[in-house]
Amino acid sequence: MKKRGGYVNYFEEITGSMVGAVGGKGANLGELSGMEGVRVPDWEVPDWRVPDWFCVNTEAFKRILAESPVTTKLLDQLSHLTINDREEIVKIGAEIRRAIEAVVIPDEIREEIAGAIAKSGEANAYAIRSSATAEDLPTASFAGQQDTHLNIIGKEAIMAHIRQCWASLFTDRAIIYRIQNGVDHRKVYLAVVVQQMVLSQASGILFTADPITGNRKVTSIDAGFGLGEALVSGLVNADNYKVQQGRITDRRISAKKLVIKVVRNGGTAQHHVDPDRQNDPVLTDGQILVLERIGRKIEAHFGTPQDIEWCLADDIFYIVQSRPITTLFPIPESPEPGNRVYISVGHQQMMTDAMRPLGLSFYLMITPAPMRIAGGRLFVDVTPHLSSATGAKAFMETVGKSDPLIKDALLTLIGRGDFIQPSPDDGNAPNTLPASMRPQVKIEEDPSVAADLVNASRFSLQVLKQNIRSKSGAELFEFILEDVKELKRLLFEPRNLAAIMAGMNASAWINEKMNEWLGEKNVADSLSQSVPNNVTSEMGLALLDVADAIRPYPEVVAYLQALETEHFADGLEQLKGGREASAAINGYLGKYGMRCAGEIDITRTRWSEKPAMLVPTILGNVRNFEPGEGKRKFDLGLREASEKEWEILSRLRQLPDGEAKALETKRMIDLVRNFAGYREYPKYGIVSRYFEYKKAIMEEAARLVNAGVIHEKEDIYYLFFEELHELLKTGKPDYRIIEGRRNDYNVFEKLTPPRILTSDGESITGKYPMENVPEGAIVGLPVSTGVVEGRARVVLKMEDADLEEGDILVTAFTDPSWTPLFVSIKGLVTEVGGLMTHGAVIAREYGLPAIVGVDNATRLISDKQRIRVHGTEGYIEIQ
């Protein structure tokens, strides 16, 4: 039996549970070393007492920190920095590294390391690899944040490089990465793996899921000549091989002009590859398939897709590292067998952020669609709509009108023929379209239909407000379940769907016919300006009225500009004009305070709960506009729509059969004017009810906190509705579930959901047609006509917006809560959206050229860059 010390662990004793002692890399390597058929670098030495590898554990690192009191002080300073404190990060990080490298390694640690080196062979070459306790974890890889040193020979050189690895925990990139991931610098420790240096003829990276598409059944292998340093540092283009179900499906051979090899006395050096070999494949087909099987075995052992570093020496594959792939979007769990296809709900709702469990619960309670949860988002299973050729065609044509990217992605997936293939039919297949996509009940041009629906919703909401006050405890949750039935009755009442579709269908008819008869595109956009009864566009104009109430009072304006607290009402009342300002703000909140960014998630903070969120927009309106701007904007839109109607009808009357065409067009224009505004009301009704539910639920949460049942009110956000209902009955929360879901949510927030996702985890992307698009232009979906040029403002959070009149807003998505910003801008570009999503509807009503569905718009367009938005043709030019 080997005698073990306190600062060195040998790999034969290391398991995956020892992250705290040997870091993520060390723990994973320990697991790998015990797997049959997988070799981790070792020496075939007859003496069984010689360790295969060893790891200088985190106790040694903690001792080093203790030997340097200044480091503790610097770590305290570092813990208060944010991502914006770049200069301080660089300065303090450098000081910490210098302090660590200056520490003399204590004799006890030095002796243990020296003993391990002596047993392994001091003359051998080693790879010295950092292994932090916050790396290679299931939720964050932290890959490449700390140092690795190759081909290190000699005891003193090894000691020096171990010290460098310790110091590398505080490189600028490592510090910034921890801040971005919310990791406490003082709770991360570093171990150092000392590993045989494999003199590799080839090396690379293997992903057991395609890192680009996410397909869990595709293995992706990158391979280069020599050591892997050239590949991971980007010095060479690697070969890439794709393997699926034991078959090589793709190979891309690159010109590999450089190779990194070991130097005889230590270190590495770059060499040029002979021109005759540069385009040779690194691996044979047989080697590719062997490596793929090794990867699948490792994946099965760890139970999750892996990012594996490998090398090849003497025709033997060695695995030098394996970590979870942390960037994959989760696959929805489905009770249905076979291949499934899912569409993102968030892309339809213009809110692709992750949702907490309680928020997911309420959405699931009101939708009849077959929903699945993945990554804190909702996806609808559309597989049944693709089961027959006729059904698939009808479904894709319908969704394609709103979002061409979804249609193109589905066509691509079906066209491949390797995942889902609609069966041929005789044209009499059952109608599988969702209710909103089926023919609606007929409603005529009677504008009272929309008014009747609004009044019914308002009356029902007042009944809810009155009745919910007397409910508490488990009775409250039973009451909410009953009231959700009333909400669903209102939403799925036939006239409600018919009213929504009447305006949409009339707009589509106008656009199609005016293009056919007059050669003019997107005419309905101009006709949709300032339609009556659009509660969302009215919300944006109403905030201009709030600015009008505040603008005459300089003290109030100065007070709001200097605001540093969320609670400003008390101080406001003491100022000249403060009461008038408070009345205007409270009046606005009385009608719209239930709204907020991401409002379909009931757990999101509402404007009424944090009115300070509106202050930047109010101040922008005070600064950018004159009194009465709200009415002027509405009147201007009304006048332009009326003039466009007269122009169109006049031109139509000049055509053959012109009177009939003009008469039918007039009927369609009236449908647009009568019903387009109602499109926004059902969601307003939903969030209005949500807010009443939330206020009552949070009162129950406060009681639970006071009773010592839960720690804080927001803990209930991480329970599904049924679980919260049960908690009210038992008074026994499971904090393992709550904290686990809180951690999951923090991870899910960083993920980007795909529009289309398969049950293999593959993200299917669509493309826009590129005809008549200038070279270098950025393409999207045109949703509001016109051309505008101006300054782009890239805004990721509404409360961070600093807009001037005439700016073009570029953002990820805009749900109704963003509408108050629309009054300041003259163009809109979003990454998410479709023809009838909220941003598109409001852009048309305000007469703003707009393009949505622009992938990566917030990265492709820089803040304050000059751009030209072609809202009719669907592309953006950077000036």
User: What residues are labeled active site?
Assistant: 838
Sheet with 54-56, edge to edge strand ranges: 8-10, 54-56, 190-196, 125-132, 148-153
Contact 847, 825 (CB under 8 A): no
**Consecutive H or E run containing 222:** strand 218-225
Which tokens hold the place of 475? 């009775």
**Consecutive H or E run containing 764:** strand 763-764
Closest CA to 203 of 179, 177, 169, 229: 229
How far is C-alpha 533 from the geometric centre of its chain's CA atoms? 33
How many CB atoms neighbour CB 368 within 10 A? 10
Contact 251, 241 (CB under 8 A): yes
Strands 125-132 and 8-10: unpaired
d(CA 442, CA 444): 7
SS3 for 830? strand
SS3 for 844? helix
d(CA 441, CA 538): 28
DSSP secondary structure code for residue 321 in this structure:
E
Q: Which residues of 813-836 are buried (b: 16+ CB within 10 A; e: fewer)?
A: bbbbbbbbbbbbbbbbbbbbbbbb
Chain position carrying tokens 């950025």? 778
Contact 569, 589 (CB under 8 A): no
3-state DSSP of 179-219: HHCCCCHHHCCEEEEEEECCCCCEEEEEECCCCCCCCCCEE
Backbone angles phi, psi at 378, to 5 degrees: -105, 140
Q: Transcribe 448-479 into DSSP letters.
A: HHHHHHHHHHHHHHHHHHHHHTT--HHHHHHH
d(CA 769, CA 872): 14
Rg (CA), the chain: 31
Chain position carrying tokens 């909401």? 461
Strands 807-811 and 825-830: parallel
Contact 68, 100 (CB under 8 A): yes
Contact 756, 344 (CB under 8 A): yes
Strands 807-811 and 787-794: parallel
Which tokens hold the place of 632? 């002027």
The residues near 729 (Cβ < 8 Å, ≥ 6 apart) are: 474
Backbone angles phi, psi at 546, to 5 degrees: -60, -45
H helix and E strand count, the chain: 30, 26
Contact 577, 553 (CB under 8 A): yes
